[in-house]
Amino acid sequence: MSLRSFLFGSVASYASVVVYYMVTDKKALPESSSKLESASKSILTHGIPDRGPNIQVYDNHVLSYDQAKKTPIWVAERITREHVNGPADRKNIRFKPDPDVPTRFSADNSDYLRSGWSRGHMSPAGDNKYSQEAMSQSFYLSNIVPQNLDNNAGFWNRLEIYCRDLTQRYNAVTIFSGPLSLPSPIEDGKLVVTYPVIGKNQVAVPTHLYKIIIVEDKNSKPIGIGSFIVPNKPIGFEHALTEYQVPLDEVERKTGVTFTPKLDTSGLRDLCEIDSCKLMQKGDFDSYFIGRRLKSANNRQTLEKAWKELDAKKITPTQYHIDVYKQKMEEFKNNERNKSEE
DNA sequence: CGGTAGTCCGTG
DNA sequence: CACGGACTACCG
pLDDT digits (tens, 9 = 90+) for A149-199: 999 999 999 999 999 999 999 999 999 999 999 999 999 999 999 999 999
Question: In the structure, how far is the CA atom of residue A113 from the C1' atom of nucleotide C3, in angstroms?
Answer: 14
User: pLDDT confidence of A330, banded at 50, 70, 90?
Assistant: confident
Q: Which residues sit opposite A227 in a β-bridge?
A: A212, A246
A269 touches strand C (CB under 7 A): no
| Closest nt to residue A138, judged CA to C1' | B2
Q: For strand B, which nucleotides have at least one atom less than 7 Å from a protein CB?
A: 1-5
Residue A19 has pLDDT above 50, yes or no: no
Residues 88-117 in A having a C-beta less than 7 A from any atom of strand C are 94, 109-110
Higher pLDDT among residues A80 and A25, named by residue = A80
User: pLDDT confidence of A18, banded at 50, 70, 90?
Assistant: very low
- DSSP-derived 3-state class of residue A224: strand
Output phi, psi for A221, to 5 deg.
Answer: -95, 130
Query: What's the whole-number average pLDDT of chain A?
Result: 90
Q: Is A239 annotated as catalytic?
A: no
The torsion defined by the Cα of A281, A117, A179 and A59, in degrees rounded to 10, comes to -80
Q: For strand C, which nucleotides have at least one atom less than 7 Å from a protein CB?
A: 4-6, 9-12
Most confidently predicted of A26-35, A98-107, A289-298: A98-107
Between the alpha carbon of residue A267 and those of residues A121, A164, A167, A227, A263, the distances in Å are 30, 24, 21, 15, 9
Does this model's pTM top 0.75? My answer is yes
| Closest nt to residue A149, judged CA to C1' | B3
Beta strand residue intervals within chain A, DSSP E: 56-57, 62-66, 71-79, 118-121, 144-147, 173-180, 184-185, 191-192, 197-198, 203-204, 208-216, 222-231, 245-246, 269-270
Distance CA A185, CA A147 (A): 22
Q: Given the residues A46, A61, A83, A121, select the one marked as catalytic.
A: A121
